[in-house]
Structure 1
Amino acid sequence: MTVSGFITAIVIGAIIGLLGRLFAPGKQNISILVTILVGIVAALLGTALASAVSSADTAGIDWVEILFQVVLAVIGVTLAARMLGGRRR
């Protein structure tokens, strides 16, 4: 992976992770680093899933791919918050 590819993965992961955190129910007591890591994984899995489901090459924004990525990020952020988030009383 090149440096530009690495930086792009971090930026896209951060955006997807933040969208996942925005749409996840409840309060998430996880760090921004965990959110970005969940977003990177969700972006990669969402891209793979979208390419497996649809073989059409879209010109422009692939909304199906973005939808898969955000849904996976919501699931990932919710799971990470339940596993890693501390309970407050």
Structure 2
Amino acid sequence: MVSARPAHRHPGPTIPAINTSGGAMIGFIVAGLVIGALARLIKPGKQNLSIIATLLLGLAGSVIGGVIANLLGTGSIFELNVLGFIVAVIAAVALIGTAEAITGSRNRRA
């Protein structure tokens, strides 16, 4: 009698899943706020940015920091490590400076 079960096949290489649970997303948002706040403290002068702009620039900085840390082989993009955190803060400072330059040039024209 022939078995109706299909032959077992090796599944091949797997791609690790990114944890998108609510806790991970909240942690990512909190990290973005912390990185954005640190960047605003490090950047001299007064910044005319809202808390939402600080959050978004901090999130962008944390993604940049995670990507660079991942490229250097120190961990995953979403993994918290020292190098990624430092690069994220530096990137957020640069992003805040860019945002100030863009909004400052708009305010001077008006």
- Alignment TM class, shorter chain as reference: 0.7 to 0.9
1:11-26 → structure 2 map (5 Å cutoff): 11-26=30-45
Whether 1:71 aligns to 2:72 is: no
* Pairing partner for 1:7 from 12, 26, 40: 26
User: SS of the counterpart of 1:17?
Assistant: helix
Greater relative contact order (Cα < 8 A, sep 6+): 1
**Highest CA radius of gyration, 1 or 2?**
2
1:26-37 → structure 2 map (5 Å cutoff): 26-37=45-56
Instruction: Name the % identity.
Output: 33
Q: Structure 2 stretches of 5 or more lacking a match? A: 1-19
Structure 1 counterpart of 2:6: none
- Worse overlay, 1-10 or 33-42: 1-10
One-letter amino acid of the counterpart of residue 33, structure 2: A
Give the Cα separation in 2 of the matches to 1:28 and 1:52: 31
Q: Give the structure-1-normalised TM-score.
A: 0.81
Give the Cα separation in 2 of the matches to 1:9 and 1:56: 18
Residues 16-75 of structure 1: CA deviation (Å, up to 9, x unaligned) = 00011111122111111100100011101101101102x245xxx732111101100100
Structure (1 or 2) with the greater helix fraction: 1
One-letter amino acid of the counterpart of residue 17, structure 1: G
Q: Structure 1 stretches of 5 or more lacking a match? A: none
Give the Cα separation in 2 of the matches to 1:56 and 1:67: 13
Which aligned segments of 4 or more residues in structure 1 are displaced greater than 4 angstroms? none
What is the Cα-based RMSD across aligned positions, in Å?
A: 1.8
- Worse overlay, 63-72 or 78-87: 78-87
Whether 1:49 aligns to 2:68 is: yes
